[in-house]
Each structure stands twice: as structure tokens, then as C-alpha cells.
Structure 1
Amino acid sequence: MVESSYEYDEKELDISKLKGVGDVTAKKLKDVGIFTIQDLLLYSPIYISEVTGIPAERAEKLVLQAYEYLKDIGLVPKDFTVANELFNKRRLRKYIKTGSNNFDEMMKGGIPTQAVTEFYGEFGSGKTQLCHSLAVNVQLPEDEGGLNKNAIYIDTENTFSPDRIVEIALNKGLDPNQVLRNIIVGKPYNTVILLNMVKKLSELIKKHNVGFIAIDSAVGPFRAEYLGRGRLSERQQLLNRFMHDLLRIAEVYDVAIAITNQVQARPDVMFGDPTRPIGGHVVAHAVTYRIYLKKAKAADLRVAAIVDSPEHPPREIIFRIWEGGVTDP
């Protein structure tokens, strides 16, 4: 594993350092995966109260205390910040190069940290290929397009291929065994395990110096388990919590998160492209960037289009999939 560059002493951020948190409260929080003061910001007071048994008012007070503590040491922004400070902070964001200059230029540098990027498209459109490439590229030095960090790959559909990682690594002149050791793979069998894995991400990020997280695919398991309109509301509520947990993790721990998503056809669309990503408005509003991937005429070419972004204009580019991952045509 690449050595951690975590800026603050973990003891300084241990949950027990928060004023009023004694041994009993600290144990309740740690038993459900809340180990640090940062972790408290990932969950709502209602959720913390439900899983720990801590009264809701007490849980709310703890979250606010954590927020104030992290503001004081500069790990989270102030309540209100002038726009130029936010602009300067955004300039400090880091990017993972995809391997395609076309793709990176479209994204103004690559796949950014502090954000959730969604790749959606039909089978074979390049979603998994991009995730594999990014899981390797994040390990490169910063001057070569990486973050000099490790990756987590949550594989919900049995698409993760160690052989493909080895192929990409060899074509980049990297030690494939070391590259594989730097990727932590999770294989959830259902949504309960998937949600539990997400709860453990903050601990893994700090322990293993993680800079990139892929969830391939993110919405598919919810769609498969919660069938029919009778369970639609329940599914969307769980999916909403899942997506917002990912967004908070990306922002709080300065990591790049990429999720893949499937598509379905809209029978009411008579003209144009009838496909749309699954997950509805919950996913659409939660992701930072939404990128639509399509097959091109040539077998090794793919089209990537920015569908939704707070800072990028609509644009479409072509990239190529080859033995070494992703590149330009």
C-alpha cells in the first residue's frame, strides 16, 4: 500500500476528543462505525439515534459539536463563506487522469476529488473499463496524473477483473502485483451488505490512504431487490440515504467517487435517444457529474457526453478502450 499522507493525527480526531463524549458514548458510536469526529458529519442525528440508542437531542448536539470542532481546525468550511474563498478551495481539488486527453479536457482535468461522478450507459459502453483504469491511475504520482493513493472497488455485479487490472498495469510499466495489493475489493451480496460497506468507507479511507472509490454498479442492487411500485418509496428512501452518504464521504475525506449506472428505455419517447439512467430524481440530484457513455461505430471507440454538471458546458467526446485502459482514438 502507498503510505498514508493523512494531515491530522488520528488521535486528535478520535470521537472521544469531543467535549462531553465519555467512554460509554464513545463505545456506542464506535460499535456502529463512528470512530472519528469527521464520521459524525456523515450521518443525520436521527440515524445516529436509531442505531446507537442515544437520545435524538443528544445526537443532534453531538453533530453540531463535531461541526464546530472541525470548523475550528479548518477541516470543513465556515457556515457562510465568501465566493472567492470557495473558488480558491475548488482550485485545490485534485484530479485523476483517465488516460484520454479528450476525456480529461472535457472534465477540465480528469475525475475530481470531493465529488461523485456517475458513468451511465448500456452494457459494454465502457463504464467498468473507466473504473478499472481509474483504480490503476490513482496510484500514479501526481505529476503522472494520479494521486499516489490507493483504491476501493465495490463490485455489486461481479464485473471486477484482476486480470484486466494486471493488463492495464503492465501496459503502464507498473508492478501488477503491487497495483493489485493497492486495490481493496468489496463484493456485497445484497443492499444490506452494500449499505454496511458504505458505512465502513471512512475507516478504510484513513487506514489505507484511499483516493478513489468505484461502485460498479450503484443502483442495480436496489432495483433488483425492491421490485414493484409497492416498494418504490422504500427503495428510493434507501437509495437517497446511500447517495448522500457517498457525497458526504467524497467531500469530507477529499476522495474521488465514481459510480456506474444502468439504463432503461422510455417507451413514450418517439424521437431521439429513448434511454435514461435508472434511479430517478434521487440519483440525478445527488451526483455531482453525470456522464453518458455510448458505443461508437468502431468496436474499440466510445462516446462520452456530459449530461449534467454544475460547471461544465454540454459536450461530447470520443475515447478509445485498449489493453492499457483508456486513451484517445
Structure 2
Amino acid sequence: MSITEVFGEFRTGKSQLSMTASVICQLPKDQGGAEGKVAYIDTEGTFRPERIKQISERFGVDGDAACENIIYGRALNSEHQMELLNGLCQNFATGEYRLLVVDSIMACFRVDFCGRGELSERQQKLGQMLAKLSHMAEEFNVAVFLTNQVQSDPGASALFASADGRKPVGGHVLAHASATRILLRKGRGEERVAKLQDSPDCPEREATYIISNGLVSFLPVVDALLTG
């Protein structure tokens, strides 16, 4: 019933986390799952059914069945992205769905609205979409998982940007809509670092993870972030 946002630069595992969460959602509740189906909106063309099958093998789930439990939509622009969201309401009304993934939330907006002259309109449209996502999360009792890109901001203070001077795209509109925000960044070698930056019930903390063979050790990362 809330929005979780994961942001970071390329090759930090955002799409891998999205697909891993899509498989975990289908697991029995005693295995950390939600026993539900998944709606997946892809704005960058990074969704891969073959990757879903690989992740499914790791969790002992039938790959074909896992793919069948994921309803997929490829958003071509920001308007199409909203149309896909509106179309999902009928699916969610069945009560079978427990997760909505948008990977990534800002990709289409960055293309459709360029420059400062269109910033106000972009933020207004983004705010409408986030309000829709929040309403769907509460009305249909689903978890909303968003990935987001970052942009360079050398002049930003350390309070609003990560250590390397990058900040999430979307500004305050997206920041206020996300109940939980997690930063993913590159560490030493193949290591990646996940930092819980904002949460209504958890303090800030970090966890290190490694993407091996394209798979992310997702559950250990979440456990470390939420329990310390």
C-alpha cells in the first residue's frame, strides 16, 4: 500500500532487482513472498523473460509459470505510460495482484519534456501519475516498486545528493511520493552498495551486495537494510 523507489546509475542492478522482486512476489508467504501476480511496466526495454526464468530457477519456481503470472506492458511515452496504468485497474480489481513495477518511472518524461521551459508541465504530469500510483497502491493493496535514474549535480549539497554528486531525477514531486527511497551505487570491484535513504519506519543504513551471473542477492540486501 505504498511506493518504494530505488535509484542509481547504470549497472547497479535496478532492473535486476525489479525482475527478482517479480519472482519473489509469487512465492508462498512463508518464503517471503506474497502469493500474487505482478504487473510490470517497462519504459526502457530492459525486461527479459529469459532472465525471469533464470531467477525462477534460483527460487525453485517454474520459469514458464512465473512468466505467465507477470502482465507486461512496454510504455512508449509518458502518455502511454499513464494509459497502461489506467488499464491495470481492471486487472487489480480481481485481487490477484500484489506488485506493480515501473522500470523506470522517469525515462519517458525525460524524453517527452526537455529543458527548463517544459519543467513545470513535466512535474505536473509526473505528479498526476504518482497520485494515480499511490491511489492504486492503497485501493488494491499492492506494493508499487519504482526504479529511477540519476543526474549529475556538482553544486548540490551532500544532504540532497549522493557522495559522487548524483541525485535522483524527478525532484521534490517524486521524493514526496515515495514512502521508501533506496540508493544503489557502485562499490569496489563488483560490489554494489544499497543505502536506505528515506523510510517512515526504518533508520538510514547500508548493505553491500554482488550481482553474480546477472542475479542479485535481493533478500539479503532487504534483510540487512530493514533489520541492520
TM-score of the superposition, structure 2-length normalised? Answer: 0.89
| Secondary structure in 2 matching 1:211 | strand
For the residue of structure 2 that corresponds to 1:163, the secondary structure is: helix
Match of 1:52 in 2: none
Q: Would the alpha carbon gap of residues 289 and 224 (structure 1) be closer, same or farther in structure 2, given more than 3 Å must change?
A: same
Q: Is the 8 A contact 2:209 2:216 kept in 1?
A: no
In the other structure, the counterpart of 1:185 is 72
Is 1:322–2:212 an aligned residue pair? yes
Say whether 1:284 aligns with 2:175: yes
Does 1 or 2 have the higher relative contact order (CA < 8 Å, sep 6+)?
A: 2
2:132 aligned residue: 245
How far is 1:286 from its partner?
Answer: 0.7
Count how many residue pairs are aligned between Structure 1 and Structure 2: 215
Equivalent pair of 2:13/2:216 in contact (CA under 8 Å): no
Q: Distance in 2 between matches of 1:178 and 1:233?
A: 43
Q: Please give the secondary structure, in 1, of the residue aligned with 2:50.
A: helix
Q: Do the aligned partners of 1:132 and 1:325 also contact (CA within 8 Å) in 2?
A: no
Aligned 1:21-100 pairs, distance under 5 A = none
Distance 1:142 1:321 in 2: 25
How far apart, in 2, do the equivalents of 1:187 and 1:282 lie? 24
Q: CA deviation at 1:192?
A: 1.1
Q: For the aligned residues, what is the CA RMSD?
A: 1.7
Letter in 2 for 1:322: S
Matches within 5 A, 1:223-262: 223-262=110-149
**Alpha carbons of structure 1 residues 248 and 296: separation in structure 2 relative to 1, 3 Å:** same
Please state how far the C-alpha of 1:269 moved relative to its aligned partner: 4.3
3-state DSSP of counterpart to 2:111: helix
2:193 aligned residue (294, 298, 303): 303
More strand by share: 2
- Secondary structure of the equivalent of 1:243? helix
The alpha carbon displacement at 1:234 in A equals 0.7
In the TM superposition, residue 208 of structure 1 has moved relative to its aligned partner by 6.9
SS in 2 for 1:305: strand
Identify which of 97, 109, 125 aligns with 1:222. 109
Q: For the residues of structure 2 that align with 1:177 and 1:269, how far apart are their CA atoms?
A: 46
- 1:105 aligns to what? none
Moved over 4 A (4+): none
**1:258-305 deviation per Cα after TM superposition (whole angstroms, max 9, x unaligned):** 001000111214874310000011000111111000122132x32111
Mark the runs of 5 or more structure 2 residues left unpaired by the alignment: 222-228
Instruction: Give, in angstroms, the shift of residue 160 of structure 1.
Output: 0.3
- The 3-state SS of whatever aligns with 1:129 is helix
User: Hey, what does 1:121 align to over in structure 2?
Assistant: 8
Matched letter for residue 169 of structure 2: I
Between the aligned partners of 1:159 and 1:260, the Cα distance in structure 2 is 12
Alpha-carbon separation, structure 2, partners of 1:325 and 1:125: 10
1:53-87: per-residue Cα shift (whole Å, max 9, x none)? xxxxxxxxxxxxxxxxxxxxxxxxxxxxxxxxxxx
C-alpha separation between the residues in 2 aligned to 1:230 and 1:163? 41
- Asked if 1:202 corresponds to 2:202, the answer is no
Q: Which residue of 1 aligns with 2:53?
A: 166
Question: Whose Rg is larger?
Answer: 1
* AA of the residue aligned to 2:98: G
Q: Tell me the CA shift for residue 128 of structure 1.
A: 0.8
Q: Distance in 2 between matches of 1:279 and 1:145?
A: 31
Seq. identity, %? 39
